[in-house]
Amino acid sequence: MYQVLYRKWRPRRFADVVGQPQVTVTLQHELTEGRIAHAYLFTGSRGTGKTTCAKILAKAVNCLNPQEGDPCGECEICRAADDGSLMDIVEIDAASNNGVDNIRSLREEANFTPAAAKYRVYIIDEVHMLSVGAFNALLKTLEEPPPHVIFILATTEVHKLPATILSRCQRFDFRRIPPEDIAQRLHYVAQEEGASIEEDAALLLARLADGALRDALSLLDQCLGRSRTVTEAVVNETAGLAGRDHLYAFAQAVHQQDAASVLELIAHLHEGSKDMARLCEELSSHYRSLMLIKTMKDARNLLAISQEEYARLEKQALSIPLTTVLHCLDTLQDALEKMGRGADRRTEMEMAAIRLCSPELDTGSAAILRRIEALERGAPRRAAAAPPVSEEPQAQESTEETAPVQQDRQAEEPAAQNSSRHAAQPAASTADLAKNAVPLDAWPEILQIMKGYSATISAAFTGSSAYVSGDYVLIDAPREMAFELLRKSSQRGKMRDAIQQVTGRVYKLGPYRRPEAPQEQQEDPLLQLASMAREAGIEVTETKEPELEIQT
Ligand SMILES: Nc1ncnc2c1ncn2[C@@H]1O[C@H](COP(=O)(O)OP(=O)(O)OP(=O)(O)O)[C@@H](O)[C@H]1O
Ligand SMILES: [Mg+2]
Ligand SMILES: [Zn+2]
């Protein structure tokens, strides 16, 4: 008869339990020293080894020949326990035996000495399901346990247990098992089964199992039903995941605010019977990865994915601002919640997509922050009307030369009223900056990265050079097209990213040339949006220096 893998490979010794050293090492140690409690409580998320450890513990306290706290597995007690014929280990499923009568009869029975073993062990699984009366009855026994009785209570929902029960048990918390540990166990089991699993596939399974080894083994079981060599593709097919291309495509299109493409993508996936809630979850998980990569130096440990996948994510993470990522996460979680409440899934997904592609339609705080960020990247801040008196004269001259380029999205923003609040902030002067500039030696390397983004862009910068001055990288390019490109916030973002990749620093960008005559002041949509944000209760700091205008 076929036995499912997770049952077949249930560990029989503490040493084989993975990822729970805080439980197994402690128990082994205590058992070796002969310290045995009368009530244990095993809690933690599902499929992480609670029942398994309860069974091992029940054997270990009774084993005739225990080995460093582990049951030997060979003596008559161990063997009887394994084949279920040992009457002194009693497993009770509290979900179906939750009444006070069940516990009363258990108490009665517990008064008798064990038949064959040293201890009578009661494993009460899902103990949180007991009725109030049953808990009270159990409590009486726990208060004065017969010396030959041990209780092992197991539950996923410890918060449902009365404090009086908790305080009488020695508690062990089982944690979600780290993906690497799960992957390793999958390798081991696959190998013992005469099959094999690739590294990427094991990690993907581990990630899908979300810390539960039982789920991972069930999935492995299904995969092995398909193929004796488990690859990432096999896992994808088995778990009903298409590849992940659509996630990248979605994120890219949203970043470009290309609603038509996003809607087409959704329609296409819908035709392929993709469940929209599942899509929403996958996208959330994708954006979470982007978020972690963007905020951590090295998010590899938290993500548990292959090197290639990481590199691919990292590339996308570089091109998408954090505010966009957060806005997407926010919106997708909302949509998922509504889907859960019975809203039409496809419509909900499409609405989310449209909100993401048009943050200006969205009045949520995540959307407003995203718009502010877009403006900060794309639009130069309006120059100060008058510098503070204490500033040097050049500062004044320079502050007047920064005029916004109204080519980007901010052109759609409503016109701002004149504001006087920014008068205290002098902008840096390109002329001043150019004076102190030193050549940026790594420029060719940066252009090389830009080439990876787009051949056209890198062509525009042929023959260019760059200088560093303070917080700025100043670019000198013979072709007008280079500056045309830099006026676009998306291209400027790429350039900044490329510079950051090579230099490790975030620089503002400016042209390496002396500015021409001052131009008229224009309204600063950023200021208006900032005041909108403040009205919406979002804190906006104003310490940021304006980006230099790319003047040609
Ligand atoms: N830490 C672990 N080490 C090795 N195998 C494990 C571990 N956790 C779970 N497994 C595997 O998963 C199966 C189920 O585990 P177990 O019954 O112990 O989980 P549980 O924590 O009791 O879950 P539930 O809360 O759903 O009852 C085991 O038979 C075993 O194959
Ligand atoms: Mg269990
Ligand atoms: Zn034994």
- Write phi, then psi, for 9 (nearest 5 degrees): -105, 30
Question: Taking the domains of the chain in order of start, what are their residue ranges?
Answer: 5-174, 179-239, 245-377, 390-511, 523-552
Give me the pLDDT at residue 75, please: 96
Substitution candidate for ligand 1 out of 213, 219, 220 with most atoms within 8 A of CB = 213
Residue by residue, DSSP assigns 339-380 as: HHTT--HHHHHHHHHHHHH-GGG--SHHHHHHHHHHHHHHSP
Task: Judge if the beta carbon of residue 7 lies within 6 A of ligand 1.
Answer: yes
For residue 214, pLDDT over 70 is answered with: yes
Residue by residue, DSSP assigns 192-225 as: HTT-EE-HHHHHHHHHHHTT-HHHHHHHHHHHHH
Task: Judge if the beta carbon of residue 527 lies within 6 A of ligand 1.
Answer: no
- Lookup result for tokens 């890198």: 458
CB 483 within 8 A of CB 495: no
Could you give the CA distance from residue 503 to residue 496 in angstroms, rounded to a whole number? 10
- Residues forming beta bridges with residue 152, ordered by sequence position: 40, 123
Task: Judge if the beta carbon of residue 214 lies within 6 A of ligand 1.
Answer: yes
CATH dotted code for 245-377: 1.20.272.10
Write down the pTM of the prediction: 0.57
The one-letter code for the residue type at 65 is N
**Residue 34: helix, strand or coil by DSSP?**
coil
Could you give the CA distance from residue 344 to residue 341 in angstroms, rounded to a whole number? 9
Task: Judge if the beta carbon of residue 11 lies within 6 A of ligand 1.
Answer: yes
Identify which has the larger pLDDT, 518 or 291. Answer: 291
Lowest mean pLDDT among 112-126, 208-222, 268-282, 446-460: 446-460
- So what's the architecture of 179-239 in CATH? Orthogonal Bundle (1.10)
Average pLDDT for residues 236-244, to the nearest whole number? 70
Residue 310 DSSP label: H
56: which 2 tokens? 């091992």
CB 157 within 8 A of CB 128: yes
* Cβ-based neighbour number of residue 22 at 10 Å: 12
Through-space distance between the first and last CA atoms of the chain, rounded to whole angstroms? 79
Identify which has the larger pLDDT, 442 or 313. Answer: 313
Task: Judge if the beta carbon of residue 212 lies within 6 A of ligand 1.
Answer: no
Q: Which residues contact 186 (CB under 8 A, 6 or more apart)?
A: 197, 202, 205, 206, 216, 217, 220
108: which 2 tokens? 């009665």
| Å from CA of 48 to ligand 1 middle | 5
Give me the pLDDT at residue 523, please: 57
The one-letter code for the residue type at 449 is I
CB 525 within 8 A of CB 410: yes
Planar angle of CA 404, 409, 414, nearest 5 degrees: 80
Topology adopted by domain 390-511: GMP Synthetase; Chain A, domain 3 (3.30.300)
pLDDT tens track for 533-543: 777 676 666 55
Identify which has the larger pLDDT, 332 or 425. Answer: 332
Identify which has the larger pLDDT, 207 or 198. Answer: 198
For residue 148, pLDDT over 50 is answered with: yes
Could you give the CA distance from residue 164 to residue 168 in angstroms, rounded to a whole number? 7
Ligand 1, atom 12: closest residue by C-alpha: 214
66: which 2 tokens? 């225990």
Give me the pLDDT at residue 124, please: 96
| Å from CA of 76 to ligand 3 middle | 7
For residue 359, pLDDT over 60 is answered with: yes
Side-chain-side CA neighbours of 181 within 13 Å: the count stands at 16
529: which 2 tokens? 């949006």
Give me the pLDDT at residue 520, please: 47
Lowest mean pLDDT among 143-152, 331-340, 405-414: 405-414
CATH fold match for the domains 179-239 and 390-511: no
CB 385 within 8 A of CB 539: no
Position in ligand 1 atom list of the atom nearest CA 46:
25
**Residue 241: helix, strand or coil by DSSP?**
coil
Task: Judge if the beta carbon of residue 35 lies within 6 A of ligand 1.
Answer: no
pLDDT tens track for 333-342: 999 999 988 8
| Å from CA of 7 to ligand 1 middle | 9
Ligand 1, atom 4: closest residue by C-alpha: 17
User: Which has the closest alpha carbon to 66: 18, 115, 22, 119?
Assistant: 119
Task: Judge if the beta carbon of residue 19 lies within 6 A of ligand 1.
Answer: yes
**Could you tell me which CATH class the domain 5-174 is placed in?**
alpha beta
Q: What's the whole-number average pLDDT of the chain?
A: 82
